[in-house]
Amino acid sequence: MMSDDYKDLPGSQGPSVDDVRFEAIEFEKAVKGYIERHTGEWPKDVGLGKLIRNELHEYPMHPELPDLWPKFLQEAKELKALRNKIVHSDPSGLPTLSDLYERFHRANTLLRPFGFVGSTSRDKFCEMEWKGDHLHFKINDACYALNGPDINNLLSELDPSSRGKVHFKKGKLVSSKMLDYGYERCTYYIEECEPFELVEEESMALQDLLICFLNDPILKYP
């Protein structure tokens, strides 16, 4: 990733163990989320393996492509076994980091609703509007005022594919840490601003809002 505002950090190309671990943990959430969208209920007290064996096959994606779902179910079974090794820090027999990351990321992308950002994901953000060359907004009642380079830096950190992998040449410094043992909430730090926590859906929602505002200087969000 290159721009006038930031550049890739040395060694940032390719996934890390943390990247793979994150996608592996997300895999279970993605499977449960997919089933919830079909049944209306989040699967509770049911193991991932049982969901893949007994439930996932009942809700095929794209029935017009009959070969797609059987292949995915087989991949899901293999990913479940790999996930167990990753979560329990057992590297024996694991493929390369790049292969693991690609397989988990591809499965998670397939299971997630395309482009879905629910309205509840935007509940933390309000009073977003341009004042001069700064975008003012609130997250959990904390106030922020960012200019164009600041926003681009924040966008690069909100995006999992570039998170923690760029060096900022302009604007406020931005970083993030996963401080949640459940790998659900990421804490974001903007230079001279209050840190804030977001789940991945909220990060996506903030990305969408910031991109919209960058493209429309008269836009307002209540």
Q: What's residue 11's pLDDT?
A: 55
CB 12 within 8 A of CB 165: yes
Q: What's residue 54's pLDDT?
A: 94
Q: What's residue 119's pLDDT?
A: 53
Pairing of strands 142-146, 134-139: antiparallel
Q: What's residue 15's pLDDT?
A: 80
CA distance 20 to 95: 11
pLDDT tens series, the chain, 222 aa: 445 665 555 555 678 888 899 899 989 999 999 999 899 999 988 899 999 999 999 999 877 678 888 999 999 999 999 999 999 999 899 999 999 988 998 898 888 765 444 555 678 899 999 999 999 999 998 999 999 999 989 998 998 877 887 777 789 999 999 887 777 789 999 999 999 999 888 888 898 889 878 877 777 666
Q: What's residue 44's pLDDT?
A: 86
Q: What pTM, to 2 d.p., does this model score?
A: 0.57
CB 211 within 8 A of CB 155: yes
140: Cα separation from own chain's centroid: 20
What are the residue ranges spanned by the domains of the chain? 17-111, 123-221
CA distance 6 to 10: 13
- What distances in angstroms separate CA 44 from CA 24, 29, 36, 38, 51, one per listed residue? 19, 11, 10, 15, 10
